[in-house]
Amino acid sequence: MKETPFYKTNWFTMLMIIVLFPVGLILMWFNKKWTVLTRIIISCLVVVLSVAGYFTQSPQSENVAVQVEEHKEKTKPAKETNKEEKPQNNQVAIIDKGIKNKKEETKSEKEDPEVAHKEKSKEDIQKIIEKTVGKKSGDEPKISDLEVSDLLESDTKTVRTVNVTFNGDDNLTTKMIKNGMLIEAEKLFPTIFGDKKVGRVILTWKFPLVDTKGNSESKKVLSIQIERKTNDEINWDNFDCNNFATVADHYYEHPALNKE
């Protein structure tokens, strides 16, 4: 009697259905030992159990995935911290380099006065002034003339002087025109003296004046000069611009500004 191969036996087919159901189902249908109805019922039962098992185990798989991600997140900050330490070292290096460059610039200024002069350029001062009082006075430029120079006071001392001439702004009355100039002066002096190398500031305003013959000409109507020492003594936060005539080192006012 010829023996039945083990893969055609009922016990092996049942084992495969339980352990590895796709193989078990193939053997069951291939061997044809059971009736068609039995094979259909077993096939449907296996499929239903497999689907139910998949949806039952799916949340558990998701939980495992979440736990794995959480574990990664816990171990990740240590690496990120190490990465963030490098920019801090770079920042320290940049700051050190900046301090070094600043020291070198200061040393250069002491050794070469021309370097200091170039550092505080005329263009830089013009930008500061225009930012404070604007670029235009009517149709004319606000700044009519600007000079930045180191004036020799003695054989060993020079005073850096900023001399600015403005075109005055028109207004309803002569008093309002004058007040406008004084207010501009109150803003400009502390701003320009913000440059510690400036030792003297002269602000002058021109304005069109009409003579007795009806001719109009732009002339100097107001000029205020303040030295560094005087500037340092003034509390600009509480200063009244109408006191320029008494506190300035030099003050000039055209008689036309006193007319009503």
- Strand pairing report for 198-210 and 158-167: parallel
User: In angstroms, what is the C-alpha Rg of the chain?
Assistant: 46
17 occurs within a structural domain: no
170-226 per-position pLDDT tens digit: 988 999 999 999 999 999 999 999 999 999 999 999 999 988 888 989 999 999 999
Query: What span, in angstroms and rounded, lies between the C-alpha atoms of 185 and 178?
Result: 11
26 occurs within a structural domain: no
73 occurs within a structural domain: no
251 occurs within a structural domain: yes
Query: Is the full-model pTM beyond 0.85?
Result: no
DSSP per-residue string spanning 36-95: HHHHHHHHHHHHHHHHHHHHHHHHHHHHHHHHHHHHHHHHHHHHHHHHHHHHHHHHHHHH
Angle between helices 36-111 and 21-31 (to 10 degrees): 150
Domain that holds residue 250: 116-258
Do 256 and 174 touch, CB atoms closer than 8 A? yes
167 occurs within a structural domain: yes
Output the tens digit of pLDDT for each of the chain's 260 residues. 456 666 566 666 666 666 656 666 666 666 666 667 776 777 777 777 777 776 765 444 445 455 555 555 555 554 444 444 444 555 544 445 555 555 555 454 444 444 444 456 889 999 999 999 999 998 999 999 999 988 887 777 888 999 999 999 998 899 999 999 999 999 999 999 999 999 999 999 999 998 888 898 999 999 999 999 999 999 999 999 999 999 999 999 999 898 76
Q: Count the domains in the chain.
A: 1
